[in-house]
Amino acid sequence: MQLQLHHYQDTLNGIVPLSSSKSESNRALLIQALCQDSVTLKNISDARDTQTMQRLITENAPTWDVLDAGTTMRFCTAYLALMGKDQVITGTERMQQRPIGVLVDALRMLGADIQYLGNDGYPPLKIAGLEEQKSSQLKIPGNISSQFISALLMIGPSLPKGLTLQLTTEVFSRPYIEMTLSLMAHFGVKTEWKENEIHVASQAYQSNDFVIESDWSGASYWYAMVALNSGSTLTLNGLKAQSTQGDQAIVDIMTKMGVTTLFDDRGAHLAHAEDFDRHLELDFKKCPDLAQTVMVVAAAKGISLKMTGLESLKIKETDRIAGMTAELSKIGTLLIESADTWTLKPGQKPEKTPVINTYEDHRMAMAFAPLCNLYDIKIDDPDVVKKSYPGFWEHLKKHGVVIREIP
């Protein structure tokens, strides 16, 4: 199925009830499972990834199928390494192509019994759990997925000897690690991060209620809508000016691309601004999930981009670099890769309605959707948004975008 989004000609205004943060929800669920006392979590994300993780932990079945949820795979692998009993964790075909060897090696060094059931370094895995902790000291690259590091940190307090992580390279996606440590602190765990070393002593998580914040990743698509719609204003409920979510970086990025932000107790108030920078240099090392959205806005507004920190995009739900290169070409834009730098060169808008392939990637669908402010577009396989923002298309409809299903 495809969706056709009709050229939206009215000014956007009103309130958007965002989904809550998938990143915060998944971390909180793992901590809840590790806490010996009862923990109440409020405003849990309705994202499929989060719902899958919640179900797997609750059912504790012999086989855990994470579907296409990368965060769930990594967090649950660490959880089963600590608590598992000869259980299998698996996922979709694409999930079985996403590397997990760095995390498995680290967990084995701690003493976990983990076997590969297919290709070495990739799911599915059989996990017997940890009978005796062999080491409390681990060296791990900082430029890998922060989810590996967060998974290890969250089980750290429950290890008999605690855990010390030495990060051997520059740290990518640092805000996500800081989010993990902040949540651990909320539940009573003390940690220490000095230079390249993070120490977590053996200790118990403490019961404490927690309310999940709205999702800054989901907010980024509404920033794009406002950026491409002259005169528009929107209020995004439940966002905080001081957030642990790395994707709050969208505020500063979009300030340069024509969107202003004001905060109050309700959330973030967005307004279109006519002035914007025509040339930008951006580093996505700390916020790689924003890259697709920013690229599309830049392409639509004729902004040339020089980008770094995109390396991790190649091992996401799809190879996002390859996907963006192909789909941006449909709207007259070149994405050029050279070593560790990517350059975006906008061209002319398309003469016919572009059909955007999504490659089973939720962010591909939502990043391109705001183009409907400029011309009609078609989105292939639109159901992919259920992974992180199930209500996205309905929220667009409520704000006046005409959407038609094409079988």
Residue 280 neighbours by CB distance under 10 Å? 17
Closest C-alpha among 217, 247, 221 to residue 370: 221
Task: Report the C-alpha gap between 216 and 175 in whole angstroms.
Answer: 13
User: Cβ neighbours of residue 358 under 8 Å, at least 6 residues apart?
Assistant: 364, 365, 379, 380, 381, 382, 384
Whether the upstream peptide bond of residue 346 has omega within 30° of 0, thus cis, is: no
C-alpha–C-alpha distance, residues 73 and 75, integer Å: 6
63 vs 81: CA distance, rounded Å: 14
CA angle 152, 154, 159 (to 5 degrees): 75
Q: Is 289 part of the annotated catalytic residue set? A: yes
Catalytic residue chosen out of the listed positions 209, 289, 381, 383: 289
Dist. CA 24–CA 20, nearest whole Å:
8
For 339, the token pair is 């070593």
Q: How far is CA 246 from CA 33, 41, 180, 210, 223, in A?
A: 24, 21, 11, 19, 16
Active site residues: 289
